[in-house]
Amino acid sequence: MRVIGTAGHVDHGKSTLVEALSGINPDRLAEEQNRQMTIDLGFAWLDLPDGETIGIVDVPGHRDFIENMLAGVGGIDAALLIIAADEGIMPQTREHLAILELLDIRNIIIVLSKIDLIDDPEWIELVELEIDELLAQRGLRALPLVAVSAQTGAGLDQLVETLQRVLIKLPERVNYHQPRLPIDRVFVVSGFGAVVTGTLSSGALAIGDGVELQPSGAAGRIRGLQSYRRDVAVASPGSRVAVNIAGVKSGEIQRGDVLTYPRQLQPTLLADAHFTQLNDIERPLAHNAEVKIFCGAAESVARVRLLESDAMAPGSAGWLQIRLPEPMPLSRGDRFILRYPSPAETIGGGVIVNAHPGRRLKRFQPEIIKQMELALSGTPGERLALAAKGDEPQTRSELQKRLGYSDDELSTALAEALNGGLIRQLDAQGYWAAESWQRLSRAIETELSAFHQVNPLRLGMPRPTLQSRLNTKLGLLDAIVENEEGLTIESGFVRLREHSIRFSDEQSQAVKRVMKALEAEPFSPPGIAELNRLAGEEVVRALSDLRRIVSVNDNIAFAADSYDRLVAEVRRHITECEEIDAKTLRDKFGSSRKYAIAVLDHLDSLGITQRVGDVRKGGRNL
């Protein structure tokens, strides 16, 4: 499915030509027909000789309605730039051509209309020379030119053939399964409710689909679909579509809203963009200037933050941030136009590079500009790696949503990024930029290095403590520790692999005193306070980290082998007898009730046992 647009001056016969081609008068408003002037968007369609149906968006040509023109020209595949033979190039011709270029619409057919009004061949030649000069000034390659008369029919067949030849060269619209319908009309059909129209991009829509309107977030369901006044079950990308929505009132919808699948499009208040200013602009764009932005069918006032200068020279290009007063449905890759509100003037246009930067960028920062240039013109793998940067990995579907890649494009980009070491794949968590991985890895090493220096007798930092300090997810922390050579985890402590607890001669003697005291009464050992007195808290804690001793509560610790014997006996006894109590455990080891209860309470906390009345039965971790 293809959609074309008409552009040109108000008096150049656009609507008359559309009616001559399609049999449909695109001027639907009474005022338009009375004034013979297109005021708002008009729509028609045409069957080409090869059987393809193409949509036609007839946009206003008068400078007073240029903003209505911008609402309809964004999603077209090709344009007819109409120039009347009796008038030649007019100011709006130049502005419309500039807008088409800024929106990256390169498939343009020049239509020289009203040739029936000209008897002098030399006049026609002069107009054609003027057109050639205009195209040369704009650096455009030779564009096809067709002379026609809507009144006599001269040249219409050649125009249709030229249109078919241009469109057949274009690649098929890819279904990214992320439908976006910028809404350019809203109306009510009696008995059916709200109907919206637009040019569908990025995916298909089907009857019964749940949909969402952005930026409002209103949710509904597709009750009916039409494409070129034919009922369809599925609307294809690139076609003009009318959608009957159930569950949403027409008053909740306005031109510029975007119809999409739920949770696929997040409106934004801030966007990073690359911008190109027109050569003949009268007022160069200045930092923090108030402008109007037009994207898709939406428009809004905005402020622009220039990131590289205080003002842009005419004809220059650069990076900026667009600040919006209300959320606007923007996505990466969207083309936009900026205009001054008053007096109205088109400034230039560009492309959204990041619709959700999340923060105001610092100005005059070469590294930031480098990242944005990579996002605009890097290879697919480089752009994917940039999209995968952040505080946590992203799933395949999340990356596809951010980048707008097809399934094949995403697979190619993932392969490039993985083979080039630009991203890391974390099984269940998704994909993460290698740069983000390295940043967290360095942060872990820095934290541990400082911790080891202050706490040389600690085995490492407790895993939850390290996670809290870095404000990251445990899954990410574990993945990095498992995969980085210089890191390891032992007994729940994360450490640099090169770090180990080294006792001084004096501390080694203290260790011997502690272990001797524990071995003397293995199941009725001295309390932790006594152990601290014998060796000092740091040494006792180091023995705990090394699991030479095991604390069962704040007051009681056993030598590790004694503790293991206690646990093994509890497991064996419950397996054979189904339960154990404190008296039985006390008697088996010749200790006291105090120690037996402390051990059983500790095993309860580990899930090895569970208390049922006065006895313990097997727990979930028995």
| Range in 120-129, 148-157, 379-388, 403-412 with the lowest mean pLDDT | 403-412
Residue 62's pLDDT band (cuts 50, 70, 90): very low
User: Cα separation of 524 and 587, whole Å?
Assistant: 12
Q: Which two three-digit tokens encode residue 400? A: 């596809």
The residue assigned the tokens 């552009």 is 7
What are the pLDDT digits (tens) for 109-147?
999 999 999 988 899 999 999 999 999 888 887 899 999
**Predicted confidence (pLDDT) per residue in 165-213, tens digit:** 999 988 887 777 789 999 988 989 888 889 999 999 888 999 999 999 9
Per-residue HEC secondary structure of 132-179 comes to HHHHHHCCCCCCCEEECCCCCCCCHHHHHHHHHHHHHCCCCCCCCCCC
Q: 220, 248 in Cβ contact below 8 A?
A: yes
Tell me what percent of the residues of the chain surpass a pLDDT of 90: 64
Query: Tokens 């032992």 identify what position?
Result: 490
pLDDT class of 156 with cuts at 50, 70, 90:
very high
In the 3-class helix/strand/coil scheme, how is 111-122 assigned residue by residue?
Answer: EEECHHHCCCHH
- Whether 177 and 43 have beta carbons less than 8 Å apart is answered as no
Q: How far apart are the C-alpha atoms of 407 and 425, rounded to whole Å?
A: 18
Q: What is the dihedral of CA 61, 66, 71, 75, to 10 degrees?
A: 60
| Distance (Å, whole) CA 443 – CA 446 | 5
- The pLDDT assigned to 69 comes to 64
* Alpha-helix residue ranges (DSSP H) falling in 433-581: 434-454, 463-470, 474-483, 505-520, 528-535, 537-545, 560-577
Coil, strand or helix at 69: helix
pLDDT at 56: 87
pLDDT for residue 64 is more than 80:
no
Cα–Cα distance between 163 and 168 in angstroms, integer?
9
Spatial separation of the C-alpha atoms in residues 511 and 132, rounded to whole Å: 94
Which residues fall within 8 angstroms of residue 168, CB to CB, at 6 or more apart? 50
The structure tokens listed for 222 are 């597709």
Positive or negative CA dihedral for 62, 66, 68, 72?
Answer: positive
Least confident range from 168-182, 207-221, 596-610: namely 168-182
* Burial class of residue 118 in the structure, from the number of CB atoms within 10 Å of its CB (0-12 exposed, 13-18 middle, 19+ buried): middle
- Of 210, 163, 196, give the one whose Cα is nearest residue 47: 163
Average pLDDT of the residues in 416-432: 91
Q: Is 533's pLDDT higher than 50?
A: yes
Write the CB contacts of 576 (distance below 8 Å, at least 6 apart in sequence): none
Structure tokens at 289: 């200037």
Q: What is the pLDDT of residue 35?
A: 41
DSSP E strand boundaries for 10-65: 42-47, 53-58
Measured CA to CA, the distance from residue 333 to residue 343 in angstroms comes to: 29
What residues form DSSP beta bridges with 323? 270, 303
Band of pLDDT at residue 154, cut at 50, 70 and 90: very high
Report the alpha-carbon distance of residue 593 to residue 598 in Å, rounded.
8
Q: Specify which residues 55 forms β-bridges with.
A: 3, 45
DSSP 394: B
Q: What is the pLDDT of residue 283?
A: 87
- Decide: 205 and 211 in contact? Cβ < 8 Å: yes
Task: State the average pLDDT over residues 80-100.
Answer: 89
Collapse the DSSP code of 27 into the 3-class scheme (helix H, G, I; strand E, B; otherwise coil) and give the result. Answer: coil
Sign of the C-alpha dihedral, residues 25, 30, 35, 37?
negative
> Strand order of the sheet with strand 461-462?
461-462, 493-496, 487-490
What is the token pair recorded at 175?
A: 């279904």
Asked if residue 487 has pLDDT above 50, the reply is yes
Residue 290 CA, distance from chain mean position: 26
Q: Give the mean pLDDT of 564-584.
A: 93
In our burial notation (b when 16+ CB lie closer than 10 A, e otherwise), range 513-552 reads ebbebbeeebbebbebeebeebbbeebbbbbbbbebbbbb
Summarize the confidence of residues 71-93 as an average pLDDT: 85
Distance CA 57, CA 43 (A): 5
Element (H, E) at 197: strand 193-199
Instruction: Tell me how far apart the alpha carbons of residues 14 and 467 are, in angstroms, rounded to a whole number.
Output: 65
- In 3D space, the residue among 62, 65, 80 whose CA is nearest the CA of residue 17 turns out to be 80
CA atoms within 13 A on the CB side of 390: 19
Half-sphere exposure in the Cβ direction for 275 (13 Å, CA): 32
Q: How far is the C-alpha of 58 from the C-alpha of 102, rounded, in Å?
A: 19
For residues 512-533, give the mean pLDDT. Answer: 93
pLDDT for the residue 39: 44
Q: Please give the Cα distance from 92 to 461 (Å, whole number).
A: 69
CA–CA separation, 214 and 299 (whole Å): 13
